[in-house]
């Protein structure tokens, strides 16, 4: 039998159905994948510099500072100053990677992100750890469940939320080469290793990581692994879900969404982010103007979360694979009702 | 400290005993959670002990009392020290201490005024609690209330521009009903403050912003009590108590070590830490 999966590590594909998949599978926090990749891009491009705001220990950008003290700038606990300074550095030709927590980069320094970085479209790279509800125990003040939505609404922004270690490293390389501001969303807690190095990472291009024709699940960052597990379980029930890894939320790969709409007739989006203005909204906005098929969204509803272990928190707030499976059932029911109605209308 | 009547204003020797119990509770919470910020909790312990068990006008049976003094831990990551003070003061049962940072707990990773009785302001994003303190002090004045607002800030936190915005506004409005206590422990998350982003002449900076300053050793309980009592009497100008402290105070291997900003002890370290903290009374 040919595998429906693409670019998935064989050792991951073979255990997707294990009940303890998320407990036992090998994991890595993508905040570390980011700082590891910085060494590589710094070797390639001498203009790359790294900016910190007293959380270098947390992103391990402090390791970069040890190796490249002259290319590393710790601004202390002063996110607004760092962000506007990054803009200033970019005007001189440097490529600053402004590193910190998503909460404080996307929200404390939002005015600077908009007016000093995006309005002049400067070449600032924002590396945001603790994105979404990926910090569990720290609680609400550190859970940036709105960051992707917020940055997505800024004109000319590019928002990337990779699912695993390999694709995060690819994203760091791609953003170093990209001309313009990029927001990179990183996880605080470890997430499963998923992909082989064949993964074709390109900014703005979704990747089909599982073939299927009954429905499409479009997911990003830490929920891609949940989408894959949900799809594997659905397959056991005779439902074949296509899974798209939407690592770039903006610009959205419209072609891939419309193709999925045409070919599978219904879509579930899954994001560890508020349902307002993020991935689900982006897909819905596109569909409603082009091909309004049934759609269900997984995301944080109109609530703040709370402290707790990462997995327990995202499960309580409706983001894990069982919730994706429920949404899949619901969207399939709606698709069938929709198709029946269409058939009646035609008869 | 079970024999102490905490509804009374405690003496300095009694406050020292309370501080020992609070330090033990801080270590217990962080050990149970296997996460949290011991260093900055232990450096602020003596200050919170004095405030909650002697200085502040509060009623634990009525945490929403309109005329109560307000307290804000602007360096909200150090909330285990706050939770320890509130539990020992009787705001909630001590059994909650083991639930820090766990799902469905009243004790969030950063303090939440809607979840924890006695927490007067939600904190965790540095540089905001002090601004909320300005608002509370203005609210008191506007409504002709005589409660006092107490705010603890960190030295790393002082790097946030908003701290200086608060400083300007408190001076403009002559907020003598607000006192800030700076927990000057000289360490932030990444490293020593001096290496990360030096603060320069701290006392002179606050003076230049129009504040009355009092400098003390933040672990000398008598000095802490005296400074807090004095601050409440100063009129026409906001006061900041600059408390010279030791990050990780009371636990030898944590003292002055940046790595203990946000790390939990293992079983062996926990036992040693408890022994050392208890030893402070002997
Ligand atoms: C606005 C903001 N930026 C960053 C952080 C992450 N953070 C938590 S504690 C800390 C260091 C705080 O240092 P300090 O104020 O000196 O506290 P203390 O040493 O007393 O614990 C940092 C950077 C935060 N909570 N809020």
Q: Is B125 in contact with B89 (CB distance < 8 Å)? A: no
Closest CB from A74, A138, A313 relative to B197: A74
Chain A hits for B112, Cβ within 8 Å: 139-140
Instruction: Please give the helix or strand (H or E) that residue A197 lies within, else none.
Output: none
Final residue belonging to a domain, choices A192, A220, A251: A192
Residue contact A54–B157, C-beta within 8 A: no
- Same structural domain, A121 and A243: no
Average pLDDT of chain B, as a whole number:
97
Chain A hits for B122, Cβ within 8 Å: 141
Residue A251, by phi and psi: left (phi above 0), alpha (psi -120 to 50) or beta? Answer: beta
Chain B hits for A74, Cβ within 8 Å: 190-191, 196-197
Closest CB from B33, B157, B190 relative to A57: B190
Determine the distance in angstroms separating the CA of B36 from the nearest CA of chain A, rounded to an integer: 8
CA distances from A305 to A308, A324, B98 (A): 9, 19, 20
Would you state the pLDDT for residue A343? 87
Inside any domain, residue A11: no
Domain of residue B231 covers 3-281
- Same structural domain, A37 and A141: yes
pLDDT in tens, B120-132: 999 999 999 999 9
Q: Quick one: tokens of A71?
A: 């290319």
Kindly list the residues of chain B whose beta carbon comes within 8 Å of any beta carbon in chain A.
33, 35-36, 76, 101-105, 107-110, 112, 115, 122-127, 156-157, 159-161, 188-191, 193, 196-197
Domain of residue A276 covers 204-340
β-sheet with A125-129: strand ranges across: A72-74, A48-52, A95-101, A125-129, A182-185, A159-160, A248-250
- Same structural domain, A186 and A208: no
- Same structural domain, A180 and A255: no
Ordered DSSP codes for A220-265? -TTHHHHHHHHHHHHHHTT--EEEEE--EEES--HHHHHHHHHHHS
Q: Is A139 in contact with B108 (CB distance < 8 Å)? A: yes
Q: What's the CA dihedral at B229, B232, B238, B243 to 10 degrees?
A: 20
pLDDT in tens, A192-239: 999 999 999 999 999 999 999 999 999 999 999 999 999 999 999 999
Q: Is A22 in contact with A311 (CB distance < 8 Å)? A: yes
Inside any domain, residue A50: yes
Environment class of residue A46 by beta-carbon count within 10 Å: exposed (0-12), middle (13-18) or buried (19+)?
Answer: exposed
Residue contact A140–B159, C-beta within 8 A: no
Pairwise CA distance, residues B38 & B183, whole Å: 14
Residue contact B124–A140, C-beta within 8 A: yes
Q: How far does the centroid of ligand 1 lie from the alpha carbon of residue A228, in Å?
A: 37
Pairwise CA distance, residues B199 & A323, whole Å: 49
- Same structural domain, A130 and A262: no
Identify the three-state secondary structure at position A6.
coil
Q: Quick one: tokens of A33?
A: 């994948």
Ordered DSSP codes for A11-57? HHHTTTT-TTHHHHS-EE-HHHHHHHHHHHHHHH-TTEEEEESS-HH
Q: How far does the centroid of ligand 1 lie from the alpha carbon of residue A103, in Å?
A: 13
The length of chain A, given as a count of residues: 347
| A55-63 average pLDDT score | 98
Closest by CA position to B32, among listed B267, B277, B261: B267
Q: What are phi and psi of A248, to 5 degrees?
A: -105, 115
- Same structural domain, A186 and A231: no
Would you state the pLDDT for residue B1? 81
Environment class of residue A345 by beta-carbon count within 10 Å: exposed (0-12), middle (13-18) or buried (19+)?
Answer: exposed
Q: What are phi and psi of A337, to 5 degrees?
A: -60, -40
Please report where in the chains the tokens 């539990």 appear, as a residue. Answer: B87
Inside any domain, residue A103: yes
β-sheet with A267-274: strand ranges across: A207-210, A241-245, A215-219, A267-274, A295-300
Closest by CA position to B119, among listed B177, B68, B179: B68
Identify the three-state secondary structure at position B163.
helix
Which has the minimum average pLDDT: A27-36, A337-346, B270-279? Answer: A337-346
Environment class of residue B206 by beta-carbon count within 10 Å: exposed (0-12), middle (13-18) or buried (19+)?
Answer: buried
Q: Please report which residue ranges of chain B form alpha helices under DSSP H.
A: 12-33, 38-43, 45-50, 79-89, 129-142, 161-172, 193-196, 202-208, 221-231, 267-279
pLDDT band at A342 (very low <50, low <70, confident <90, very high): confident
Inside any domain, residue A54: yes
- To test the pocket of ligand 1, the residue of B76, B154, B155, B259 to mutate (highest count of ligand atoms within 8 Å of its CB) is B154
Residue of B nearest to A76 (CA): B197
What is the 8-class DSSP label of residue B141? Answer: H
CA distances from B238 to B72, B171, B177, B207, B216 (A): 16, 6, 7, 10, 17
- Same structural domain, A147 and A227: no
pLDDT in tens, A301-311: 999 999 999 99
Pairwise CA distance, residues A26 & B146, whole Å: 58
Closest by CA position to A324, among listed A222, A188, A208: A222
- Same structural domain, A109 and A182: yes
Among the listed residues A36, A79, A146, A271, the single catalytic one is A79
Inside any domain, residue A1: no
Residue of B nearest to A60 (CA): B190
What is the 8-class DSSP label of residue A109? Answer: T
Domain count within chain A: 2
Beta strand A182-185 with A125-129 is parallel
Determine the distance in angstroms separating the CA of B105 from the nearest CA of chain A, rounded to an integer: 8
- Same structural domain, A158 and A134: yes
Looking at the DSSP bridge assignments, the partners of residue A297 are: A269
Environment class of residue B132 by beta-carbon count within 10 Å: exposed (0-12), middle (13-18) or buried (19+)?
Answer: buried
Would you state the pLDDT for residue B194? 98
- Same structural domain, A105 and A177: yes
Kindly tell me if the per-residue pLDDT of A347 is higher than 70. no
Chain A hits for B36, Cβ within 8 Å: 137
Chain A hits for B78, Cβ within 8 Å: none
A79 is catalytic: yes
Would you state the pLDDT for residue B2? 82
Closest CB from B125, B157, B193 relative to A108: B125
Would you state the pLDDT for residue A341? 87
Instruction: Please give the helix or strand (H or E) that residue A117 lies within, else none.
Output: none
CATH, residue B188: 3.40.50.970
Would you state the pLDDT for residue A63? 98
Q: Quick one: tokens of B109?
A: 């990773």
Identify the three-state secondary structure at position A111.
helix
Would you state the pLDDT for residue A338? 87
> How many C-beta neighbours within 10 Å does residue A190 have?
18
Give this complex's ipTM.
0.95
pLDDT in tens, A274-297: 999 999 999 999 999 999 999 999
pTM of the predicted protein model: 0.96
Domain count within chain B: 1
CA distances from B89 to A267, B2, B19, B93 (A): 54, 11, 12, 10
CA distances from A208 to A72, A171, A244, B20 (A): 37, 17, 5, 58
pLDDT in tens, B41-65: 999 999 999 999 999 999 999 999 9
Chain B hits for A80, Cβ within 8 Å: 161
CATH, residue A158: 3.40.50.970
Residue contact B101–A52, C-beta within 8 A: no
Closest by CA position to A186, among listed A292, A83, A270, A99: A99
What is the 8-class DSSP label of residue B11? Answer: P
- To test the pocket of ligand 1, the residue of B30, B157, B194 to mutate (highest count of ligand atoms within 8 Å of its CB) is B157
- Same structural domain, A256 and A322: yes
Inside any domain, residue A147: yes
Report which ligand 1 atom has the smallest distance to the Cα of B44.
20
- Which residue lies with its CA nearest to atom 23 of ligand 1? A54
Which of A98-134 are b and which e, b meaning 16 or more Cβ less than 10 Å from the residue's Cβ? bbbbbbbbbbbbbebbbebbbeeebbbbbbbbbbbbb
- Which residue lies with its CA nearest to atom 7 of ligand 1? B189
Kindly tell me if the per-residue pLDDT of B282 is higher than 70. no
Kindly tell me if the per-residue pLDDT of A83 is higher than 70. yes
Q: How far does the centroid of ligand 1 lie from the alpha carbon of residue A139, in Å?
A: 15
Average pLDDT of chain A, as a whole number:
97
Say whether the peptide bond before residue A251 is cis (omega within 30 degrees of 0). Answer: yes
Residues with CB under 6 A from ligand 1: A 54-55, 77, 104, 108; B 37, 39-40, 43, 75, 77-78, 124-127, 154-157, 183, 185, 187-189, 247, 261
- Same structural domain, A181 and A49: yes
Pairwise CA distance, residues B88 & B94, whole Å: 7
Pairwise CA distance, residues B79 & B48, whole Å: 11
């Amino acid at each position: 039998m040919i595998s429906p999966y693409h670019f998935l590590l064989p050792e991951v594909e073979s255990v997707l159905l294990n009940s303890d998949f998320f407990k036992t599978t090998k994991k890595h926090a993508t905040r570390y994948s980011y700082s590891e990749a910085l060494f590589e891009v710094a070797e390639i491009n001498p203009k790359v510099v790294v900016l910190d705001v007293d959380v270098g220990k947390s992103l391990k950008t402090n390791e970069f500072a040890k190796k490249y003290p002259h290319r590393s700038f710790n601004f202390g606990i002063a996110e607004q100053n760092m962000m506007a300074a990054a803009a200033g550095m970019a005007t001189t030709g440097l490529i600053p990677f402004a590193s910190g927590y998503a909460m404080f980069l996307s929200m404390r320094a939002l005015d600077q992100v908009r007016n000093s970085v995006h309005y002049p479209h400067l070449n600032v790279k924002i590396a945001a750890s603790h994105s979404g509800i990926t910090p569990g125990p720290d609680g609400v003040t550190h859970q940036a469940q709105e960051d992707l939505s917020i940055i997505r609404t800024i004109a000319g922004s590019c928002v990337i939320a990779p699912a695993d270690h390999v694709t995060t490293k690819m994203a760091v390389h791609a953003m170093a080469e990209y001309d313009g501001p990029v927001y990179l969303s990183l996880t605080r807690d470890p997430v499963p290793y998923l992909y082989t190095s064949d993964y074709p990472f390109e900014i703005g291009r979704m990747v089909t990581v599982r073939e299927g024709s009954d429905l499409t699940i479009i997911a990003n960052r830490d929920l891609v692994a949940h989408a894959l597990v949900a799809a594997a379980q659905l397959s056991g029930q005779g439902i074949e879900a296509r899974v798209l890894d939407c690592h770039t939320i903006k610009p959205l790969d419209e072609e891939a969404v419309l193709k999925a709409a045409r070919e599978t007739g219904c879509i579930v989006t899954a994001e560890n982010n508020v349902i307002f203005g993020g991935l689900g909204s982006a897909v819905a906005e596109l569909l409603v103007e082009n091909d309004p098929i049934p759609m269900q969204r997984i995301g944080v509803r109109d609530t703040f979360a709370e402290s707790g272990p990462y997995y327990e928190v995202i499960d309580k707030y409706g983001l894990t694979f069982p919730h994706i499976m429920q949404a899949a059932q619901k969207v399939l029911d709606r698709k069938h009702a929709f198709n029946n109605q269409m058939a009646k209308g035609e008869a | 400290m079970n024999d102490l009547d905490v509804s009374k204003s405690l003496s300095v020797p009694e406050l020292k005993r309370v501080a020992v119990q609070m330090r033990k509770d801080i270590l217990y919470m962080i050990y149970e959670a296997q996460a949290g910020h011991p260093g900055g909790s232990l450096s602020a312990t003596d200050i919170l002990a004095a405030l909650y068990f002697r200085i502040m006008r509060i009623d634990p049976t009525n945490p929403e009392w309109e005329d109560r003094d307000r307290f804000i831990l602007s360096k909200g990551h150090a909330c285990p020290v706050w939770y320890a003070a509130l539990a020992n003061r009787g705001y909630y049962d001590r059994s909650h201490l083991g639930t820090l940072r766990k799902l469905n707990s009243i004790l969030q990773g950063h303090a939440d005024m809607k979840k924890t009785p006695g927490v007067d302001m939600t904190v965790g994003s540095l540089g905001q609690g002090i601004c909320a303190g300005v608002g509370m002090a203005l609210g008191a004045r506007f409504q002709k209330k005589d409660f006092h607002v107490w705010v603890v800030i960190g030295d790393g936190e002082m790097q946030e521009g908003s701290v200086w915005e608060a400083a300007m506004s408190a001076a403009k409005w002559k907020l003598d009903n607000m006192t800030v206590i700076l927990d000057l422990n000289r360490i932030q998350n990444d490293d020593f403050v001096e290496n990360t982003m030096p603060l320069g002449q701290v006392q002179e900076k606050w003076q230049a912003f129009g504040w009355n300053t009092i400098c003390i050793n933040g672990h000398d309980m008598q000095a802490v009590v005296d400074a807090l009592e004095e601050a409440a009497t100063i009129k026409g100008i906001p006061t900041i108590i600059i408390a010279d402290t030791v990050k990780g105070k009371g636990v030898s291997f944590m003292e002055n070590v940046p790595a203990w900003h946000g790390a939990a002890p293992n079983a062996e370290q926990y036992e040693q830490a408890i022994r050392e903290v208890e030893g402070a009374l002997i």
